[in-house]
Every structure is written in C-alpha cells, then in structure tokens.
Structure 1
Amino acid sequence: MTRGNPVSGAEIRDALKRVLESEEFRSSPRIKDVLRYIVEKFLDGRPGDINETIIAYEVFNRRGDDPDSSGSVVRVTMARLRRKLSYYYQSAGTDDPIRIEITPGSYAPVFVRVGQDQTDAGGEAELPGTPMPGPANNGPVRRYRYLIAVLVLLVVASGFWIAESFLHEKHRRQYAAEPEPMPFVAVIGVDHEQNVGAFGRRFQMTLTSDLAKLSALRVMASGPGGSEQLLRMPLSEMASRFGLSHFVTGVHVLDEGGFELDVQLQETTTSEIVWAERYTGQMDDLDGLLEKVVDEIASALSVVVEPDEIKRIALGHSDNRTAVTLFSNAMRSLYPPDQVGRTRAAIDMLLEVTRLDPEFAGGYAGLSLAHAQLVLYRHSDDPDTDLKKAVDYARSAVEVDANYGFGHSALGYAYAVGGDRQKAVVESYRAVTLEPSDPITQMRFAAVLCLAGRHQEALRAINETLRLDPLKPRTPYRNLRGVILYNLGRYQEAAKSFDENVALDGPRATWIQLIHAMSHIQIGDEREALNLLNQVVGKFGNATPDYWLDIWLTAPGSAEDAKRKLSAIGWNDVSGDG
C-alpha cells in the first residue's frame, strides 16, 4: 500500500536498498531479512504471505515449533524493526524521497512519498518497472551532492582520528575536575492497586536504565529494597543524605493486557510536583511509552537530550522478555566471580540468550565477561582460548550495538585481563560516556583504572559508583574502594572501607581479605590482620596470594612491600602453596 502519489516498484526497491545499507541496519541481519521479505512479497503481489505464521516459517525457519513461541519471535522482531525505521527516518534517512512504514498491528509495509500532499491516502503502487516522471536537469545537483558527500567523509575521518588521539586525555581531564552540579533523580517505582508487582519492577528498572544514558543528569540505581527505604524517608533527608534533587513515582492499574499509569516528578527540597502525566496502553507498548516519559522528565528538568542519546534509548531494548529475564539471571550467576560453577552456568544461560535474540548485545557482552572471569580467577583450562573468546564476544556486542555501554565495558575488562591496560581504559571510558549513571559501568571503569595504576582517577570513579548506588549493602564497591585507597597509601581509610563492607555483610573473596589484612598490617594492627589471614589459609586454589598482590597492588613497589610484610609476620600461605 502507498500513501500520497503512486510509488513505482523501482522507487520501492531504492527505498529498501537505502535502509538495508544504512548504519542503523548494518549489524542487524535478522531485522534486515524481515524487512526484505515483507517488501519483496508486496512487490510480488503476494500480500497474503505477510503474516505471522508464514514469516516465522520462511524467515526464521520455525518449522514445527510451538506457535506461541514462533509468533513471539516475529512480534519481537517487528517491534524492533518499527523502532529502527523510525530512528532511521529521523537521522540518516531524513531526506529519503520514499519512506517505508509498518503500522502497529499489521506486518504489511506502507510506502509514503515525502513532501507531497498526504490527504489522498490509499493509492495503489505502480507495477514494478513502470517509469515515473522525474525532475529535469538533476545531473549537476547530483554531482554537487557527491562532492559534498566526499568532503563530509573526509571531515568525519579526520574527526575520528582526532577523537581517538585525544580520548585518553579527555577522560583524564574529566576525572581530574569536580563534576558540575546537575539534577540527581531517583525512580522510586509505582504503587499498584492490584497485587501485581512485576509491572512496577519493570517500570522502575527500564526507566532507570533509560535515564542512566543521559549525560546531563544522574539517576540513582533502582531496586525494591532501596525504593522502600526512600519511600519511608522525608524529602529533606533524600536531599541532605544522598543529594537527590528529584524523584519519580506513580500509580498503575492493570487490566487484561493493558495498563493505566500515572507518573509524577517531584522536587525534594520544595516538595513541588514539577510534572505529572497519565498514560494508557498495552503491555507490549511499555518500552516505547517510557521513551516518552524520559523525554518529558528531561523537558521538566530543562535537560538537553542529545540525538545520540535518543538513539540509545530508542534502540537499546530487547523486546524478547524471555531473553531479558534469562540475561538478568545469568548476570546474577556471575557473582561471586570466584565460584567457577556459577560462571559456567552463566555461560550456558547467555548462549541461550544469544539464540533467543541474536540482535541483543547483552548476551554477547555477558559471555565476554564470563570468559574473562574464568581467566582472571584461574579457572580456565585454556586461558588463551577463553581470553580470545572474551575479546571476540565483546566485539560482537559492540558490532550489534555500538551504543551499548556494557559492550564497551566488557571489552575493556577483557583487554585489562589480557594486560592491554591502555585499550582497557579507552573502552571502559566509552562505556561511562554512554551510560554515565550506571553504577556497575562506573565500578568496572574504576577497576580498570586501578589495574592501570591510575589510582586518583579510580578513586573518583568508585566514589561516583557509591553515590549512584548507596542503598545496596551486598556490593563489591567498598572492597574496590579499599584496594584503591591502599594503592594511594591511605591505609587507615582503606581498612575502614573494607571494615564497612564486612559490617554490611558484603562479599569477602579470598584476595579481598588478603588486601584487607594488609591494610591492617600497614596501620599496625597485626592481630586483626592475622585473624583475617587465617580465615583464608589454603583457600586460594589455582590463584596464589602472590598472584593477587601482583594483579591489584599496582602502585610502584606496593606488591613487593606487601609480600615482605606478610613474610615478616610469619604468614606462610604467601608462598603460593595454598
């Protein structure tokens, strides 16, 4: 079907070619296959083949599968296709003469001629090959366009080289200066009038994740425990204790397949409700609706949303709920990282995630992290192969979605484990710029900076991590902060940070207790140091104490000093025979 003046088959093929060759669709083969299929069926005069069952059979090779499962795969891919088309025509395809649209609820393509009266909708497309009159004397115009395109490419190439050259210095400057004041928002979640909590959790996690991609504000990490604490807290305490300027909350009502959602943004210092809105829709529409909520919140806070941030929000979701749930379970299974059984179980889950949704970069990034952990914790039977997998999977994540922060973070982590600290810092910084409010991304950046011996910058990054995620007790943040402070020679503060982690029942890996003990040795508390060390004697497995000291104590002479002092107090496991 076409809207506006008739569109020829040649014009439709040209419109399809433009889309398929664009940057937005370059790394999405499955979505490209679906778009190509529905357009070709339209051109072949077989619109009856453009339905869920036949697409599942012919495009996805779903033969004999459960119909609900097959239909879900098609619906997920079509939803992503609509979003990608929408973004393409707002960016690279803004000047395309013919646009391809797919109306929600339908899989059949609609072809729209841009810049002409759209009131006579419903016209028939011309038969393929039928010529349409075109503008006269357009040769010179096209030549100028080609010249301009070449100049633009030269400028872009030069700009890319310059950006690569100065990226290292740019993030050094960023972490050397105090951050500028900006809105700090918490998404507390939504209350519900029915006993259904999954919707509220999905709202909170997705909205927090989307807001975390904006560079002009910061958002506190989400979580049901944190929400409960904030809800019991006076607004003035939110502001004074955590520096929160605003919070988002609301109420929702669910019915069969749909929802009604009231959302509001409130200021903590004045209690003023600065924005409120009511939304209704179907469950499948929630991710798209939350993109509108992000835009409304940014507008209410007078925050500028950059075009690339709009893209990251619009294209950053996997619509396959099974894949997303499995991905979340796999990421939980990766911790604590010193338990090899959990890591291998995570790998199995993440391989299934990539099968369920090959266009979801999270599956590949998670696999990269898992294989890197096998190498770092010396659980790998073939470290060279696992390290190569870690790098390759992370590169696949970046190829699928170059704007996915976790992909760059995983690649940075893989480089760090492999010893290429410079590349590790660059990729980890890219991750932070893409998702500046994500505490895990900030934590990995801090770890990579510490491994690279850049401890002052690492301290700034881990302090930002704790600011963004202050309410979760059982996190590795305080341990990493202790390691960084130790490298800075601030042993009293290091011991305090480790002790705080113990008081909060945080993770206590063997190598963490080793450096925790060293911090007490450095402040003259040998009794507490021996107490900590005796708890981990013989528990280091394949990774000896010397190995961990060499990995994490990167200040000049720090690792050798620690080994000497451990030997001086008579602790024998330092030789590595544990």
Structure 2
Amino acid sequence: MNTIASAPMESGVVRQQLERILKSSQFVETTRLQRFLRYLVDQKLAGNDEALKGYSIGLDVFDKPDDFDPAIDTIVRVQASKLRSRLDLYYATDGSEDPLRILVPKGSYVPVFQVAFDPETADRTQAAAGAGADAGPDTRYSIAVMPFDNLSGSPDQEFLADGFTEEILNALARFKEFRVAARHSTFRYKNKKGDAREIGSELGVRYILEGSVRRWKDQIRVTSQLIDAETGGHMLSETYDDDMNVQNLFDIQETIASRIAAEVAEPHGVIHKLGSAHRKAATTDLDAYESRLLASEYWRSPSADAHRRVGRLLERAVALDPDYSGAWAMLAIVYGDEVRFGFESDSATPPLDRALEAAKRAVAADPKDAAGYHALFMTHFHRNEMSAFQEAADRALSLNPNYPDMLADYGLCIGFSRDHAEGLDYIRRASDLSPDPPGWFKLNTAILLYLQRDYEAARAAIEGSSLGASFWGDIARAMINAKLDRPRIARDRMDSALAQMPAFPAIAREALAIWNIRPEDMDHMVEGWRAAGLTLPD
C-alpha cells in the first residue's frame, strides 16, 4: 500500500530516486522539466518549502526577470501540469516497481515523497490479490470516450476529430485500471448531444470524456472535459493549444489519457500500466498521419468501394513514411479483407503475401504496438500457420488485453479452429467491453453457437440486429432458421444472400477453408445451407 512518509526521508534515498527519474525515457529529453523537478526536490530537502512559490520558481527555474508576475505569465502553472503528467507516466511504466515515489500534488509546488509499499505486508497483499484474481465483479473504472466535436469550420476536417477520439480511446485502453467502451458503442452518439447521466446509464460507464478539436492554419486546439456520469459534475477540464504536427497531437493525446488516469485511478495519480508505453508519435509526417485517420472510417462502414479507397490512402501513408507502424498494421488488415470478404485488387501479388509483409513491417517499426501483432496473427491464421498465429496472438493480447476488436477476432479464430466454447468466451469478453457491440460480434457469436448445436441461442444472438456484412448475416440466418424448422424464413434469407453473391455455391467450401474450420463443422454448416435451399456441388 502506498503511504506518505511520516518521518523525514533520508536525502540520499530521495536523490537516488530523483536521478532514476531524470534518466528515464519520460524525462531524458526534457531539459526544462528536469531542471524544474530537481529544483523542487532540492528546495524540499533543504527545508525551503516557502521558496516553492510561483514567483521564485519563475525566476530560479525559468529565468524570468524580477518583474515577473505569475498571475499574468502562466509558465509555472503550465509546466507544473506537464511535470505531473510526466511523473504519472513514469510511475505507470519505467518506475512502476520503484519503492519511492516523488509526487507534486495539484495546487502546490511542494513535492511529496511517498513509500510505494510496505515490505512487511507486500507478500501477503500480493498473495491475496493473486488468489482472488479470477473472482468477483470487474472493479475497473469504466469510461466512454465520446466523439470529439469538429470546430474547424470545415467538414473536411471531420476525420481529424474522429481520429483524435480513437487515439484517445486507444491511449486509455492501455491502462489496466480502465474498462473503455469500444468505439462502436460511442460513435452512435456522434453529432448528438445528451445528458451525461443518461449516456452513462445507457453505456454502463461511470465516466464520460468529451471534447473538441479545432484546426486553423498551422495551429491546433483541443479541449477535453471529464464528467462523472453519476452526478453530471465536471471533474477535469483542459485546453491544449499547439502547432499542428503529429508529435504535438500525440503528446496531447497522451497527456489527456494520463491526466484522466491520474484523476480517476488514485488521488496522487500513481497508476500501473500493463506493458511498456511508447512515448513518441508513430510518424512525424502529417500527411501520412492524416491518411491513416481518413482510412479509419473503413471499419465503421466496410464496402468494396471503401476498401479500394482506404487501400490507396494507406499505401500513400507508408510511402510517405515507410516506418509508420499504425499504417502498416491497418494495411495488412485491408489486404487480408480481400480474402475474408472477397474484395478485389489490381495487384498481381496474392493478398495474404501482401498482408504478411505489411504486418511484419508494422511489428518491426514498433514492437510494442498491439495493432501490428493483431494484423500478424490474423494473417498467419488465414495462411494456416498456426504456431506463428498463436505466438503473435499471445504477444498482441499481452500488449493490450482490452481491445475489443482484437479479442473478437481472436475468439473467432480459436472458436473455428479448436474450441467453440473458448472462442465464445473471448467474443463475450469483447462484447462486455462494448456496451453496444457491433453486428459482427453478434454474428460470430451466433455462428459458434450454431456449431455447438444451440440453434435457439444462435437465433437469439442476432435477433433484430444489424450484422454489418449483410451477406454473411443472411447466410447465417438461413442455416440457423433451417435447423429451427423455419423453412420459409431460411429460404428467404438464402435467396437474399445469393442475390448479393451469386457465385457463392462454387466457392462456399473455399470461403470456409480460410478460417481453418474443422471438417465436421464445415459439414454441419453446409448441411444447414442445403436445408435452406442452397445447391452445392459435391
């Protein structure tokens, strides 16, 4: 348990901790913040708490003239906010196991030295936590990131606000203390204003984050508000102004995420993040970054036209910046969709060969980004490279165990290839992270329930739902209703499916084979289709 030191802390111990912080990846490149933190600690150890005022800090740390007025020039307050965020990030990553913590509480410049654990009780606490790890309800803090408003005055900049929303969502999802509602759940509120308490109740979350993005010329302004959905009260409100470049956007995203974590998770902002964080933007090329943000629209409404357009955008992004991990990962998924959904391409290279190369480039560019391993395990799976699939999947899940799309994809892969029940568990976990799960989560649940011969549950899983890829939704409903002895509905759904893909009878088994479906399960699905009126060659 963290405790404030009740007796004067030995200065040598504090200085040793200070040097460890200043040499960390969070501080090594920030000379100004290094100087600021060292000054605060030195004054505290010297007993000069009274010197830790805005005026003195302005003169001694930031070289302000004698007529400096901290009420007019806010440099000390701004830099103190940045310092707190950097300390939060340090103790969430590099310093997560440090026995001593140096904190700067809000509203003060006097640092606090905090003992991170009690050695006499640490073993018992850890054992108790381990014993109950799989029991009880989910006690994580639940939060929904609402679509940020575009205040740029141009609909052409809508992608920037949407992309920023998703980046914030992904940044928060890396904190293990948070259960973050998936984008599918929150984007239905886009361009709709509502009471935070009602939205929180609908989504089943305690906290709501909303905000806006405004771009003009070469400047960017981002505002964010953290709201307690139980009371409707505003907990945190911030405005960020900076030059428009990718690193600044990334810094703002990370700062917002860490400030929220600090505000919600613990009073002193000490949080533990799962896995290592990477503190630099994935690209410094603004055009490449914007191309990837534009491409993110594809996942909300996939189609053949959108597939062609997004492929071109992502290929442009990696041409502009060949080390852009996020764009390579998305491109690998897009290439794989040519196999999964039958989308066409002008390339003579087989799609899974292109997908594998793109996924490998993503992982090489950023080995700590789960998105690259997500693309890699999906590609290995469709290539029937099962050992490599499992290795990549394990790495992806260790880097980000709270990403719903990845959990659902992994669940479908293992549900088809080895264990229906285990696959369903992962998809249900993905759905739990998404108060309003996307249609394809429900579709995959229904198919695995069908394979378990639980036809009524399969029907209930997709009853009244929009299933996204309507062909597969129709083909699933056809086989399920055939098994429930509803021949008219089954035939209607099959007719609708064939109207969308007349060539399906000739490729049906091939379409299933890329999912490594076991022979007995493939026969069971074909049996249902035939009962719904599909004529297949033997």
Specify the alignment match of 1:186 in structure 2.
144
Specify the alignment match of 2:333 in structure 1.
369
Q: CA deviation at 1:179?
A: 6.7
Q: CA deviation at 1:401?
A: 0.3
Cα distance in 1 for residues equivalent to 2:136 and 2:481: 31
Equivalent residue for 1:477, pick from 425, 437, 441: 441
* TM-score, normalising length: structure 2: 0.64
Equivalent residue for 1:488, pick from 449, 452, 476: 452
Q: CA deviation at 1:553?
A: 8.9
Q: Deviations over 1:154-211 (max 9, x none)?
A: xxxxxxxxxxxxxxxxxxx999877732111112255577746646445423322211
1:244 alignment partner AA: V
1:213 alignment partner AA: R
Q: CA deviation at 1:409?
A: 0.6
Counterparts in 2 of 1:387 and 1:89: CA distance versus 1, 3 Å: farther
1:185 alignment partner AA: I
Deviates more, 1:348-357 or 1:193-202: 193-202
Specify the alignment match of 2:468 in structure 1.
506
Q: CA deviation at 1:291?
A: 1.6
Q: CA deviation at 1:560?
A: 1.8
Equivalent residue for 1:294, pick from 257, 260, 263: 257
SS at match of 1:325: helix
1:297 alignment partner AA: I
Specify the alignment match of 2:96 in structure 1.
none
Conserved 8 A contact 1:334-1:342: no
Conserved 8 A contact 1:517-1:532: yes
Counterparts in 2 of 1:337 and 1:425: CA distance versus 1, 3 Å: farther
Counterparts in 2 of 1:216 and 1:351: CA distance versus 1, 3 Å: same
Conserved 8 A contact 2:370-2:395: yes
Cα distance in 1 for residues equivalent to 2:147 and 2:300: 26
Alignment of 1:203-222 (within 5 A): 203-222=164-183
Counterparts in 2 of 1:88 and 1:479: CA distance versus 1, 3 Å: farther
Specify the alignment match of 2:118 in structure 1.
none
Q: CA deviation at 1:239?
A: 4.1
Q: CA deviation at 1:572?
A: 4.4
Alignment of 1:365-404 (within 5 A): 365-376=329-340, 385-404=350-369
Conserved 8 A contact 1:428-1:445: yes
Unaligned runs of 5+ in 2: 1-20, 34-59, 63-130
Counterparts in 2 of 1:466 and 1:325: CA distance versus 1, 3 Å: farther
Equivalent residue for 1:90, pick from 4, 20, 24: 24
- Answering whether residue 426 of structure 2 is matched by residue 465 of structure 1, we say no
Conserved 8 A contact 2:174-2:402: yes
Conserved 8 A contact 2:150-2:161: yes
2:364 alignment partner AA: E
Conserved 8 A contact 2:292-2:317: yes
Specify the alignment match of 2:417 in structure 1.
452
1:359 alignment partner AA: D
Q: CA deviation at 1:564?
A: 3.6
Conserved 8 A contact 2:478-2:532: no
Q: CA deviation at 1:416?
A: 0.9
Equivalent residue for 2:521, pick from 554, 558, 561: 558
Specify the alignment match of 2:384 in structure 1.
419
Q: CA deviation at 1:324?
A: 2.5
Conserved 8 A contact 2:152-2:216: no
Cα distance in 2 for residues equivalent to 1:279 and 1:208: 18
Counterparts in 2 of 1:241 and 1:479: CA distance versus 1, 3 Å: same
Conserved 8 A contact 1:372-1:386: yes
1:481 alignment partner AA: T
Deviates more, 1:366-375 or 1:513-522: 366-375
Cα distance in 1 for residues equivalent to 2:210 and 2:306: 35
Deviates more, 1:218-227 or 1:297-306: 218-227
Unaligned runs of 5+ in 1: 1-86, 105-118, 122-172
SS at match of 1:545: helix
Conserved 8 A contact 1:450-1:552: no
- Answering whether residue 509 of structure 2 is matched by residue 546 of structure 1, we say yes
Q: CA deviation at 1:408?
A: 0.3
1:232 alignment partner AA: G
Counterparts in 2 of 1:406 and 1:255: CA distance versus 1, 3 Å: closer
Q: CA deviation at 1:295?
A: 1.4
Give the CA RMSD over aligned residues.
Answer: 4.3
Q: CA deviation at 1:417?
A: 0.3
Counterparts in 2 of 1:218 and 1:449: CA distance versus 1, 3 Å: same
Q: Deviations over 1:445-478 (max 9, x none)?
A: 22222232332232233233334444576x4222
Specify the alignment match of 2:277 in structure 1.
311
- Answering whether residue 285 of structure 2 is matched by residue 323 of structure 1, we say no
SS at match of 1:315: coil
Specify the alignment match of 1:516 in structure 2.
477
Cα distance in 2 for residues equivalent to 1:328 and 1:256: 19
Q: CA deviation at 1:521?
A: 1.5
- Answering whether residue 400 of structure 2 is matched by residue 435 of structure 1, we say yes
Counterparts in 2 of 1:563 and 1:448: CA distance versus 1, 3 Å: closer
SS at match of 1:184: strand
2:397 alignment partner AA: V
Q: Deviations over 1:300-343 (max 9, x none)?
A: 1126544675623x23543433213322444555887784x764
Q: CA deviation at 1:549?
A: 4.7
Specify the alignment match of 1:283 in structure 2.
244
Cα distance in 1 for residues equivalent to 2:235 and 2:61: 42
Specify the alignment match of 1:352 in structure 2.
316
Q: CA deviation at 1:494?
A: 1.5
Cα distance in 2 for residues equivalent to 1:418 and 1:431: 18
Conserved 8 A contact 1:495-1:519: yes
Cα distance in 2 for residues equivalent to 1:221 and 1:332: 15
Cα distance in 2 for residues equivalent to 1:289 and 1:201: 15
Percent of matched pairs sharing the same residue: 19
* TM-score, normalising length: structure 1: 0.60
Cα distance in 2 for residues equivalent to 1:251 and 1:565: 49
Conserved 8 A contact 1:215-1:433: no
Conserved 8 A contact 1:326-1:350: yes
Alignment of 1:131-280 (within 5 A): 180-190=138-148, 195=153, 198=158, 200-222=161-183, 225-228=187-190, 231-233=193-195, 235=197, 237-250=198-211, 257-258=218-219, 261-280=222-241
Aligned residues: 414
Cα distance in 2 for residues equivalent to 1:205 and 1:392: 25
SS at match of 2:182: coil
Q: Deviations over 1:79-128 (max 9, x none)?
A: xxxxxxxx99524x99xxxx777999xxxxxxxxxxxxxx999xxxxxxx
Deviates more, 1:457-466 or 1:376-385: 376-385
Conserved 8 A contact 1:483-1:552: no
Counterparts in 2 of 1:187 and 1:451: CA distance versus 1, 3 Å: same
Cα distance in 2 for residues equivalent to 1:570 and 1:272: 54
Counterparts in 2 of 1:205 and 1:447: CA distance versus 1, 3 Å: same
SS at match of 1:266: strand
1:267 alignment partner AA: D
Cα distance in 1 for residues equivalent to 2:22 and 2:420: 42
Counterparts in 2 of 1:255 and 1:176: CA distance versus 1, 3 Å: same
Specify the alignment match of 1:25 in structure 2.
none
Cα distance in 2 for residues equivalent to 1:377 and 1:255: 39
Specify the alignment match of 1:84 in structure 2.
none
1:451 alignment partner AA: F
SS at match of 1:318: coil
Cα distance in 2 for residues equivalent to 1:337 and 1:331: 10
